[in-house]
């Protein structure tokens, strides 16, 4: 798959050396950097906010893939755009008026994604999949890095791919976030995934740049 994108998640980076971690990603084969924003309400964890995103944006040469795991994300869309987000993904479960939120993100000039949790069926995307640039399938329960991959995520990937084909959104990006590794990446790609988020698997490896390259080769 020539268009496979590896998006390392900085949630697993060494925050005492965040600048050097971003420079490492700049030199890697990763096309995107995945940035998880958590509010301690929608998920049981707090990560970071605008100042860290702004700092990453100042030194990153990559596309910034911002994943909002927060309640009522529509309150902060403009700030995330100004902080450097190229793509803003919101959770279906966190948006009372998901269609309106999608339109607001588009009006800011950002690409737009919608994420679904492991317990959310793909059919909720029926009315909006033709409007978005990306669907993010959570392959772990959101909130913490280093969790075990949920195998049913592969079938959910197939289902989203089929839904995209049915509605004619042939350019849809299907992103998988949680527990991605060499052991499941090939099956995910075969199912239709073209963006793989890898956090702990990349940053805990002895050679993160090589690990990113190895994941990318699986799409060839």
Mean pLDDT, range 179-203, rounded to an integer:
96
123-132: pLDDT as tens digits = 999 999 999 9
DSSP codes joined into one string, 147-208: PPP-TTHHHHHHHHHHHHHHHT-TT-EEEEESS--HHHHHHHHHHT--EEEESHHHHTSS-H
> What percentage of the chain reaches a pLDDT higher than 70?
98
What is the helix (H) or strand (E) element at residue 130, kind and residue range?
A: none
The pLDDT value given to residue 39: 95
CB 125 within 8 A of CB 112: no
The pLDDT value given to residue 146: 67
Residue 12 has pLDDT above 80, yes or no: yes
Query: Is 36 an annotated catalytic residue?
Result: yes
CB 134 within 8 A of CB 106: no
Mean pLDDT, range 39-62, rounded to an integer:
95
Query: Is 39 an annotated catalytic residue?
Result: no
Find, among 152, 87, 165, the residue nearest to 125 by Cα: 165
Measure the CA–CA gap between 202 and 33, rounded to whole angstroms: 12
Q: How far is CA 67 from CA 135, 154, 168, 171, 220, in A?
A: 11, 20, 25, 20, 27
Q: How far is CA 31 from CA 74, 202, 212, 216, in A?
A: 27, 14, 10, 10
CA geometry: angle at 33 spanning 164 and 172, to 5°?
A: 10
The pLDDT value given to residue 67: 98
153-165: pLDDT as tens digits = 999 999 999 999 9
Within a 10 A sphere around the Cβ of 152, how many other Cβ atoms?
Answer: 11
133-189: pLDDT as tens digits = 999 999 999 876 667 899 999 999 999 999 999 999 999 999 999 999 999 999 999
Tracing tokens 């803003």 back to the chain, one arrives at 88
What class does CATH assign to 5-217? alpha beta
The pLDDT value given to residue 82: 98
Q: Six-digit token pair at 149?
A: 């991959």
Measure the CA–CA gap between 183 and 175, rounded to whole angstroms: 17
What is the helix (H) or strand (E) element at residue 57, kind and residue range?
A: helix 50-59
Strand, coil or helix: 86:
coil
Q: Six-digit token pair at 29?
A: 């084969």
Tracing tokens 């309640």 back to the chain, one arrives at 71
User: Which entry of 29, 36, 187, 214 is annotated as an active-site residue?
Assistant: 36
The pLDDT value given to residue 24: 98
The pLDDT value given to residue 37: 96
Q: How confident is the model at residue 2 (pLDDT cuts 50, 70, 90)?
A: low
Every domain of the chain and the residues it spans? 5-217
DSSP label at 98?
H
The pLDDT value given to residue 143: 74
Mean pLDDT, range 107-117, rounded to an integer:
98
User: Which entry of 39, 65, 133, 177 is annotated as an active-site residue?
Assistant: 177
Would the CA dihedral through 107, 108, 111, 113 be positive or negative? Answer: negative
């Amino acid at each position: 798959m020539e268009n496979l994108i590896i998006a390392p998640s900085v949630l697993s980076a060494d925050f005492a050396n965040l600048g050097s971690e971003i420079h490492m990603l700049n030199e890697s084969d990763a096309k995107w950097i995945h940035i998880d924003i958590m509010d301690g309400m929608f998920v049981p964890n707090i990560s970071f906010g605008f100042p860290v995103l702004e700092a990453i944006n100042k030194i990153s040469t990559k596309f910034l893939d911002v994943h909002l795991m927060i309640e009522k994300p529509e309150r902060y869309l403009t700030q995330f755009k100004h902080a450097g987000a190229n793509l803003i993904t919101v959770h279906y479960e966190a948006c009372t008026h998901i269609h309106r939120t999608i339109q607001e993100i588009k009006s800011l000039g950002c690409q737009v994604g919608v994420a679904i949790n492991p317990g959310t069926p793909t059919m909720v995307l029926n009315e909006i999949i033709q409007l978005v640039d990306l669907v993010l399938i959570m392959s772990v329960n959101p909130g913490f890095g280093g969790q075990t991959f949920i195998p049913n995520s592969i079938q959910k990937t197939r289902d989203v791919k089929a839904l995209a084909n049915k509605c004619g959104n042939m350019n849809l990006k299907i992103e998988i976030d949680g527990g991605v590794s060499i052991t499941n990446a090939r099956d995910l790609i075969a199912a239709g995934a073209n963006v793989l988020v890898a956090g702990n698997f990349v940053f805990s490896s002895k050679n993160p740049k090589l690990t990113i390259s190895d994941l990318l080769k699986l799409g060839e």
